Structure 1
Amino acid sequence: MGGQHNHKVSGKNLFITIILNIIITVAQIIGGIFSGSLALLSDALHNFSDVLALVIAYGANRLSLRPNNKNKTFGYKRAEILATLFNSSVLIGIGVFLIIESFHKFYNPEIVNSIWVIGLGILSIVLNTVSVILVKDDAHENMNIRAAYLHLLTDVMTAVAVVVGGLLMYYFQLYWVDPIVSLIIAIYLIWASIGLVKESGAILMQFTPKGMDIHKITEIIISVPQITNVHHIHLWQLNDHSIHLEAHLDFNENLSIQESNSILDMLENSLEKTFEISHTTFQCEYNRCDNKDIIKS
């Protein structure tokens, strides 16, 4: 079995971003009510989803660190993947809701107090930018944190859109801009979340990890002189970094366990180096009559 890539997520940074987003959410809800701005309330709802996303991300990250035991041999390694799927799915739902509300308000425009919109939009830009900086490094290594990071990054962009909309309403009384900004936020939310839903869903369904070529893997395996065939391959991803491979290997010699172990050690090191496969389970066979399909149907 090969090694794993480990990256410790900073719990302190996540906690700070949770506090910052609670401040933004409360301020925008109050401002949205007093100003009558759907865009501001939309952004508040988006920020509230961020609070939930960050809390779930934090909890899932802590949960994933719990040790394995006899009842949970993989531990809670997929807690973060479940959190990713949940968070991104919630964003899509919020996006659909905002689209419906945007069309409703577009046909029934209301006067908006744009000073609230501009001021709270700027507050959101500042605090969310700080949040993005805090979790940026962790987002590169962790899908769960990347989902939360995506929430925060879209917040910065949507807050900019809110401020631009506020300025147009303040100087030109273009109140129809408010639902348009809300619609743009909603469409972007849906577009940005679909990729994470697909990625986390693929891991949970145990699909072949993206970018992995089974044929190239089999070429490396059968390049070993003592191995004539590889079949019954299963290749899946446990979490962000742990890739598992299992397969049956046909040997052309009736080797001892010690001899086969030395070959497997060499093979595992090669697969880890080339494909970053962190866990392998090989069934060694000699003159066995079984199905030889690479993927058993």
Structure 2
Amino acid sequence: MAHDHHHHSHNGDKNLSVSIVLNIGITVAQIVGGIISGSLSLISDALHNFSDVISLFLSLAAHRLAKRKASAMRTFGFKRAELLAAFINASTLVIVAFYLIYESVVRFSEPVVIESGLVIWMSLIGILFNGFSAVLIREEARQSINMKSAYLHLFTDMMASVAVLAGGLLMKYYQIFWVDSVITFAIAVYLIIMGFGLLKSSTKMLMLFTPENLNIDAIAESVHKVTGENKLYHIHLWHLNDNELHFEAHLDCTQDMSVSQFNALADEIEELLRHEFNITHCTIQPEFEKACQKDFIVEE
């Protein structure tokens, strides 16, 4: 498993680096093409591509930081770096989208003649390069919210290029130049929808919220089948990163058990949490006849 994880990490670095080079090329080409042709949708696509370059740099840096070992000053290392990168990348998706909406409304009121032939060729380049980049990191995107944020940037930009291509064809053969603004607006709405979902997920992880697919009451009920009359309280459950789920709680013991007895009980609890709820790290604090509030969740 360790070798497989290392293999995925190495591929992730390599594939992100290739995607960065490709997107720098696309951005430069589309900016030049957009200025020459007068196409707002092509320039908006270039703007999104530029945000791709920034997001990919950020994802690459976070991906490498996350592999650094923990230290006395950083006991968790940089494992949450990828969550932070995903949050920033999702934020840029939404910000760019609102800017594109503004620009599309302005241009719709004052449509201009656009060199559609150049728009078509530039959008084709965007589809090929972004599509190839998205395929490169698709596998890693299934395992990391950071890589997923980078993948969404690339995938949505590929779809944007498809929309720009469709607009270029309509402008070339039907002289419908206002479609450039409409397509830009549609791209922006799509970015907001995709970006907001990722922003919501990364924010919840950064705020240490309980994962939506897990229920504290259900977990406690399962653990109590092992602990019997010894009950959990002061429970906390959170994502350290995509792959590590941490659980901590106090255990109100009805008997003054020995350390070895508690160790045996703790091993059973950890085994149950790992197999039934995929919880990777568990901390249980035993207590006996301690006077305090013993609800599952307590405001501290």
TM-score grouping bracket, smaller chain normalisation = over 0.9
Contact 2:42–2:164 (8 Å) recurs in 1: yes
Counterpart Cα distance in 1 of 2:186 and 2:22: 24
Q: Aligned letter for 1:272?
A: R
Q: Which moved more, 1:68-77 or 1:8-17?
A: 8-17
Report deviation, 1:103: 0.4
User: For 2:242, what is the secondary structure of its paired residue?
Assistant: coil
- What is the one-letter code of the residue matched to 2:206? L
1:46 corresponding residue in structure 2: 48
Per the TM alignment, residue 6 of structure 1 is displaced from its structure 2 partner at its CA by 4.8
What CA distance in whole angstroms lies between the structure 2 residues aligned with 1:107 and 1:53?
Answer: 32
Percent identity, aligned pairs only, is 45
Cα-to-partner distance string for 1:79-114 (whole Å, 9 max, x where unaligned): 111111111101111101100000000000000000
**Contact 1:226 1:253 (8 Å CA) reproduced:** no
Say whether residues 1:212 and 2:214 are aligned partners: yes
User: Does 2:73 match 1:71?
Assistant: yes
2:126 aligned with 1:124: yes
In 2, distance between residues paired with 1:291 and 1:181?
58
Residues in 2 aligned to 1:210 and 1:139: alpha-carbon distance in whole angstroms: 20
Which segments of structure 1 move beyond 3 Å, counting only runs of 4 or more?
A: 5-8
Query: How do residues 86-165 of structure 1 correspond to structure 2 at under 5 angstroms?
Result: 86-165=88-167
Q: Secondary structure at the match of 2:70?
A: coil
Paired letter, 1:189: L
C-alpha separation in 2, matches of 1:251 and 1:86: 44
CA shift, 1:225, in A, is 4.4
Q: CA deviation at 1:127?
A: 1.0
Q: CA deviation at 1:191?
A: 0.9
How far does residue 284 in structure 1 lie from its aligned partner after superposition? 0.5
The letter of the residue matching 1:229 is K
Contact 1:248 1:285 in 2 (8 A): yes
**For residues 1-297 of structure 1, what are the structure 2 equivalents within 5 Å?**
6=5, 8-9=8-9, 10=11, 11-297=13-299
- Please give the secondary structure, in 2, of the residue aligned with 1:33: helix
| 1:260 match: secondary structure | helix
TM-score of the two chains, using structure 1 as the length reference: 0.96
Contact 1:226 1:252 in 2 (8 A): no
**C-alpha contact 1:227 1:249 (8 A) present in aligned 2:** no
Check the 8 A contact 2:42/2:119 in 1, yes or no. Answer: yes
Output the TM-score relative to the length of structure 2: 0.95
**Root-mean-square deviation (Å):** 1.4
* Alpha-carbon distance in 1 for matches of 2:273, 2:249: 13
SS in 2 for 1:48: helix
- 8 Å CA contact 1:226, 1:251 repeated in 2: no
Alpha-carbon distance, 1:226 to partner: 4.6
